[in-house]
Amino acid sequence: MSLPSFTRLLAPGNKTQQIVQIDRLLSPLAQHEVGTIRCIGLNYRQHAREVNLAIPSVPTVFLKPATSLNDPFPSPIPLPKISQSSDSADYEAELAVVIGKTCRNVKEDEAYNYVLGYTACNDVSSRAPQFRDSQWCFSKGFDGACPLGPTLVSSQIIPDPSTLNLRGLRNNQVVQDSGIE
């Protein structure tokens, strides 16, 4: 897979006196710029403790298609019918790591050399099919289930993402507040 040039994302801006009205926040990445979104389940220790699950010795990997990308809040998230008929719609604040160079079999001590930057992600899920039949991709990969943004912060500004804190809000109430660990 070839990666698009992300230079437009990290190019310096120009300061002006112009005041503009923002009508809509957009994701920092467009669907055509993203191949597959790779996700790790139970990657935050505090969240694993909250749901009384052990951190797996081998990471639980699931995929989201590019069509799951969505703009950040307040963009609507079109929930699939299976989530509308039950109380299975769920959300998790996540740190999205944007890889900026093609890579494979990278040594752990060289991994940060491939990181372009970081952004906020809302990992929206339909828990009913996920827990009933272990359908991670189906329950997390529906259209619009991956709001990103609104900003992409360069890895040069955040050299150690483990020092970051994530906070998730639902209806202006804090529902998640934890470190990256």
Task: Give the span between the Cα atoms of 9 and 155, in whole angstroms.
Answer: 12
Residue 61's contacts (CB-CB under 8 Å, 6 or more residues apart) are 38, 39, 40, 41
User: Above pLDDT 70, what percent of the chain?
Assistant: 82
Spatial contact of 177 and 166, defined as CB atoms under 8 Å apart = yes
Q: How does pLDDT run across 107-116, given as a tens digit for each residue?
A: 999 999 999 9
Question: In the block, which residue shows the tokens 């299976």?
Answer: 82
Mean pLDDT value across residues 45-66? 83
Q: What is the pLDDT of residue 111?
A: 94
**Eight-class DSSP state of 67:** G
Confidence of residue 66 (pLDDT cuts 50, 70, 90): very high
Instruction: Spell out the residues 6+ positions from residue 105 whose beta carbon is closer than 8 angstroms to its own.
Output: none
Check residue 152 and give its pLDDT: 92
Single pTM value for the model:
0.79
Look at residue 139 and tell me whether its pLDDT is greater than 50: yes
State the Cα–Cα distance between residues 60 and 40, nearest whole angstrom.
6
Rounded Cα–Cα distance for residues 164 and 175 (Å):
17
Can you give the pLDDT at residue 1? 42
Amino acid at 30: A
Distance CA 132, CA 42 (A): 18
Alpha carbon distance 68, 143 (integer Å): 4
Mean predicted lDDT score pLDDT of the chain: 81
Let me know the angle formed at the C-alpha of 30 by 29 and 31, rounded to the nearest 5 degrees. 125
List the domains of the chain with CATH numbers.
27-179 (3.90.850.10)
